[in-house]
Structure 1
């Protein structure tokens, strides 16, 4: 049984909701899944004034060394100007020791994100996450076109061959749609299936 970590940061809960869906997909494929969030690094006054509430449903990861325990790591972060958040980047900046000993080489990696608009930097944010995973030696799984829900222009929706995505809207009021959650579940299943084949 593949053991998968869903590691995320979320300010307002959109990426947290996607993390839950990714984990559902992992478990549907027979994998074991833990959901953890990275530490909040924004000043307390910013967190309070901006009303950040997005990570209350899951435990915080104890530290980078815990990444070694998993066969696959699926990383989620909202976009900040076309890249992952500083909170997520700060966590990965602490993984040099893991890189030095090749601790994550051969593990399966994937990414998911949220943006305010359809063209808010989803793909560049996914790449900013995937770049870290590639440097760590991970085998990357994307949201392949076996998930047909990401095709078409009949509705506003996320989805990218590089990972699962959702669109929050400019005021954050839009929640992940059924199609977007289905994409996240599909990504979780694919990571679990790939991890089982590589590590089974």
Structure 2
């Protein structure tokens, strides 16, 4: 079973709606791919959210940092704040220090989708600032596949790009997600699930084999004064090398 998490932060539900499309794309790949949807904790008090006219949060579980280790791949979705990730997402990612220290997220997959209120509101810079977290955790970033339909067209506004799918909400957050943006989100989910599945299933299929070598030993028979040979199998002893201080390396048994 391959497990993928979608982890979001949403204020006016656009990212939540986009996450639903991403989820559809993931689920279309295989019954053996399990997907779960989470949100990061809110840091703003309800009084401030009310003044922002923010609707209630979606009814999905709140993620914890310890939960992240269960996933093979994680797709993060969030809006931009002045060209970077929201404080809520940064606070959550900043709290993953213990996971970094223990290499708990090393070689897990990561991807992004996002939203802005305007066409040039910082979707790419939002991705730039998120990728640094993935790099420090040793995660494998999966960009949006090349050749997504509609991204070369200019007859309507469309969010997203090479870094991930996205939407443009309008300055008053009233613009609905377009059909083209939904299609790109589904394609991203499908492609991400295929990449993660290929890696996980391929890794499981590879079984380490013990390398053996044939050793020919000679022994003298004191009675007949004849030399006989016999073949034995012996495991190769692993050797480790370090490059240090300009030397060719030190050998440790």
- TM-score calculated relative to the size of structure 1: 0.95
Aligned equivalent of 1:44, options 43, 46, 63: 46
The runs of 4+ residues in structure 1 deviating greater than 3 Å are none
The residue correspondences of 1:159-178 to structure 2 (distance < 5 A) are: 159-178=160-179
The residue correspondences of 1:99-118 to structure 2 (distance < 5 A) are: 99-118=100-119
CA distance in 2, matches of 1:133, 1:17: 24
Unmatched segments (≥5 aa) in structure 2:
202-253
Pick the structure with greater CA Rg. Answer: 2
Q: 1:27 to 1:150 in 2, by over 3 A?
A: same
* Aligned-partner SS, 1:119: coil
Q: Report the CA distance between 1:5 and its aligned residue.
A: 0.3
1:19 and 2:19 are equivalent in the alignment: yes
What is the CA deviation profile of residues 137-159 of structure 1, one whole-angstrom value per residue up to 9, with x for unaligned ones? 11111112231222211111012
The residue correspondences of 1:1-200 to structure 2 (distance < 5 A) are: 1-30=1-30, 31-53=33-55, 55-61=57-63, 63-200=64-201
* Aligned-partner SS, 1:150: coil
Q: C-alpha root-mean-square deviation of aligned residues, in Å? A: 1.2
CA distance in 1, matches of 2:56, 2:130: 19
CA distance in 2, matches of 1:137, 1:179: 32
Higher relative contact order (CA 8 A, sep 6+): 1
Tell me if structure 2 keeps the 8 A contact 1:14–1:54.
no
CA distance in 1, matches of 2:100, 2:88: 19
Tell me if structure 1 keeps the 8 A contact 2:8–2:76.
yes
Unmatched segments (≥5 aa) in structure 1:
none
Q: Report the CA distance between 1:54 and its aligned residue.
A: 5.9
* Aligned-partner SS, 1:135: helix
* Aligned-partner SS, 2:74: strand
Tell me if structure 1 keeps the 8 A contact 2:16–2:58.
no
CA distance in 1, matches of 2:154, 2:20: 26
CA distance in 2, matches of 1:179, 1:128: 26
Tell me if structure 2 keeps the 8 A contact 1:110–1:141.
yes
Q: Report the CA distance between 1:83 and its aligned residue.
A: 0.4
- TM-score calculated relative to the size of structure 2: 0.76
Report which of the two has the higher share of helix.
1
Tell me if structure 2 keeps the 8 A contact 1:19–1:76.
yes
CA distance in 2, matches of 1:188, 1:130: 18
CA distance in 2, matches of 1:176, 1:138: 29
Q: Report the CA distance between 1:53 and its aligned residue.
A: 2.2
Tell me if structure 1 keeps the 8 A contact 2:145–2:191.
no
